[in-house]
Amino acid sequence: MKKLIALVSTMAMAVSLAGCSSSGNDQSAASASAGVSGTFEGTAQGKGGDVTVTLTLTDSKITDVSIEGKDETPGIGDTAMETMAQEIKDSGSIGVDTVSGATVTSDAVLEAAAAALTSAGLNPDDYKTAVSAATAAGDVTEEADVVVVGAGGAGMVAAITAADAGKSVIILESQAMGGGNSVRSTGGMNAAKTVYQDDNDFDEAAGVEKTLKTAAEKYADNETITALAKTVQEQWDAYQADPQGYFDSTELFELDTMIGGKGINDPELVKTLCENSADAIDWLDTIGASLHNVAQFGGASVKRIHRPVNDEGKTVAVGAYLVPILTQNVEDRGITVHYNTTANKILMSDGKAAGVQAEQKDGSTLTVNAKAVVLATGGFGANNAMVAEQNPALDGYITTNAPGAQGQGIVMATAEDVGAATVDMDQIQLHPTVHVADDGSANLITEGLRGDGAILVNKEGSRFTDEVGTRDKVSADENAQTDGQAWLIVDQSMYDASTVIQGYVTKGWTVQGDTVADLAAAMGVDADTLTKTIDDWNTCVANESDPDFGRTSFNHQLEGTMYAILVQPGVHHTMGGLKIDSSAEVEKADSSVIPGLFAAGEVTGGVHGANRLGGNAVADFVVFGRIAGQSAADYAK
């Protein structure tokens, strides 16, 4: 239950003032309680902890607002607090809109603001009149070299790149805050042949040889996979004859991505992704983002995912880390960003993209005439109707997607006058570890935990899959278990090393036990079965062999205090989207390009095939975001 904090004395004052003004309910707040000035606080329970709103009042009018909630989700809750603080200050009302994607935090802000007014001896209802939409100032037209639609990872990377190429850039974002699905990414970014990869105590042989075996047994008729496997085999043979450092290659990265995508990926796009991945890591360094901690994720033969760490050396969620840095870089370059502005039409001139038309929050139309258009609107994972249309089996599934992932970019680009083609639209990925919180929200649980040594057990207490297999395989195995759910188990040493896990515990999403028997009781599973499962897993780690499920990653034995979180599959990524070439130009069905139209990120298709590997989404939006931004800037010349 949300808690309100207010002083008894001010509550008494509120009652007194309410009695004095009971006959004037239609009076303004200022006239009903004239002369109240000072600073007043209220607190309510948010997503992760207390949210405190501090209101500065001058003659009973709100003149300043500050909001603090240190445990709210980075990049989501904190952004919502910043947005709402400004809106409350500007309007003088607490009747402002909640922020999509941060409903719990938004509700806490409004409740805490009401508590602050109560503590000032004022009636919060006098300040709850919804702020009427501003009278449209009239339709507006702006000019830019490049207009970017979407302020998620791909959009901001493209905008930064185009601006650094000397072009004027405008970004349009449908939501009240940027970040899109990117800010929700918890893992990291895949990249091959970086200086941050090293061998540590990792046995590359098991992963590489398993991948080569899979290529030979399942994809012998796929020319791209066969050719890549031949190259990797030659590289692997040479490495074994003369080991030098850590083994990885762009070809192995391509092979993993193609196999993960079941061979239907566009080979040229995959090659572009992998060959530019190491340089993308270096580019992130130049804008203040360091992804230097390397681990293994599902579907990767070797350790390849690059993650951020905090000042204490603990891994942190990559999206919440990157998005604020990208946002700051956008601001530093003076790039104009229009929030709450939904693009609805690509403007065409002589068969070329020439700008975008959009609807602003006040109902007015914003037209941006531009020499080049970059679509970075994300996928359609939050649009259940569109998901069900493309894949009826997924109708009604929970989703990890941000509210803005509605597929607008795909709809605009495929309009008859634009003529863009799409690929792989029915390929929609389930993520196997999604936790449904008490408030009904679906929360992504990072795949990195499994890469670091976590295991999955069913409601009977037994393992049932290779935890670092591809997401489609793990999700399918999970769906076959009781209630289609499973428990993800980590231990104290993993908790100590990860602020992400610590956040799950703080939010109350986990159960825990100092012994396996205690954990089993908290999970509601048989203690003997869970004890045997943990013992068997620790034996697998000791022997670096998993005879039951073929796992090849053995980083960690589970010991001491353990934590478990209940998870289930949820719609996570739409692999299908607009057809692009390796320059991020949008194509028609005949593979001819649409001049001036570019796209990057989840709005596109072809990169991931039938299944996206964890860590490839961040690689996708950084690599192709840079390419789209540069291509658009070059075209704008």
Residues noted as catalytic: 471
Please report, for residues 249, 466, 568, the alpha-carbon distance to residue 239 in angstroms, rounded to integers and kept in the order given: 11, 27, 40
What are the start-end ranges of the H helices in 489-615?
A: 492-497, 499-506, 516-523, 527-543
Closest to 372 (Cα-Cα) out of 598, 171, 156, 141: 598
What are the start-end ranges of the H helices in 384-453?
A: 384-390, 408-413, 448-452
Helix (H) / strand (E) containing 436: strand 428-436
285 C-beta neighbours (distance < 10 Å), count = 11
Closest to 287 (Cα-Cα) out of 168, 184, 157: 157
How many angstroms separate the CA atoms of 30 and 78, rounded? 30
- Classify residue 361 by burial, with Cβ atoms within 10 Å: 0-12, 13-18, 19+: middle
Helix (H, G, I), strand (E, B) or coil at 177: coil
How many angstroms separate the CA atoms of 169 and 533, rounded? 56
How many angstroms separate the CA atoms of 185 and 620, rounded? 12
Look-up of token digits 């935090």: 105
Closest to 40 (Cα-Cα) out of 114, 119, 112: 119
CA torsion, points 566, 457, 617, 557, in degrees to nearest 10?
A: 110
- Helix/strand/coil percentages in the chain, nearest 5: 40, 20, 40
Please give the structure tokens belonging to residue 331. Answer: 């601001």
How many angstroms separate the CA atoms of 109 and 114, rounded? 9
Closest to 427 (Cα-Cα) out of 225, 621, 606: 606
How many angstroms separate the CA atoms of 187 and 290, rounded? 14
CB 323 within 8 A of CB 182: yes
Beta bridge partners of 179: 152
CB 588 within 8 A of CB 445: no
Within its chain, how far is the Cα of 360 from the centroid? 25
Helix (H, G, I), strand (E, B) or coil at 474: helix
Beta pairing, strands 510-513 & 189-190: unpaired
How many angstroms separate the CA atoms of 79 and 421, rounded? 35
